[in-house]
Structure 1
């Protein structure tokens, strides 16, 4: 293992961690699309009945882009749009039963990562768990 001065250790660890993370977690177009869809569904779920502007602000994305994404979720049967009874010009977004079911399922990437972790020895799993605990504290 290469020796680094204490000033270079965080940078070297960041590089190594990034390289390893890319090998352990799939990050192709399908995975990125699933992450984006789950973020959108999660924002709607958290804010419902949500307006398009509220969801756009929560995701820090423009309303036109969010509107197109919501349209796709409506067509897929995951989100419903309803007129607000107090303001007919306002549309309220809610998850459908299918949308709630999708959010209850684990992301596909979790299953892939779980399979890799299942091949580790118990002592290695404890070391990974400890590293995650340390990283969570630092966030």
Structure 2
């Protein structure tokens, strides 16, 4: 470890570490988006594709592809709306409700990694965070 590095070098090292430790990976972002989509469907049952697309802030074609994946996975069912046969109604299946009810794993990746550190190392990180908070 180099001491006396320039602020730019320290910033670069910090950014690299932060991305490795904290940044969401594509799988975590995809899981959050999937849960958000399922949640929107569950809250609006029977939901229309346009209602869900508007609620999640995405275009109908992208939401339609995501819903297709949920339907194939047995998490969402798509049926004709009895009031308007040209419209599809989206509902969570029992499996979809069960999965939505199961919370994601308790500890975040960061939390689990920090749990492996010694108390003195945690205190050093806490002190660094205090310094960074003061500087912001």
TM-score by length of structure 2 reads 0.65
Q: Which position in structure 2 is the counterpart of 1:71?
A: 68
Q: Which position in structure 2 is the counterpart of 1:48?
A: 45
1:115 Cα offset (Å)? 2.7
Q: Which position in structure 2 is the counterpart of 1:34?
A: 31
CA contact (8 A) 1:31 1:109 kept: no
CA deviations on 1:92-116 (whole Å, 9 max, x unpaired) are 1011111111111222484534534
**CA RMSD for the aligned pairs?**
3.6
SS at match of 2:78: strand
Q: How does 1:1-139 map to 2 (within 5 A)?
A: 22-25=19-22, 27-108=24-105, 110-116=107-113, 118=115
SS at match of 2:103: coil
5+ residue gaps, structure 2, are 1-13, 127-136
5+ residue gaps, structure 1, are 1-15, 128-139
CA distance, structure 2, for counterparts of residue 105 and residue 19 of structure 1: 33
Task: From the superposition, tell whether residues 113 and 42 of structure 1 become closer, same or farther in structure 2 (CA, over 3 Å).
Answer: farther
CA distance, structure 1, for counterparts of residue 111 and residue 94 of structure 2: 27
Aligned length, in residue pairs: 118
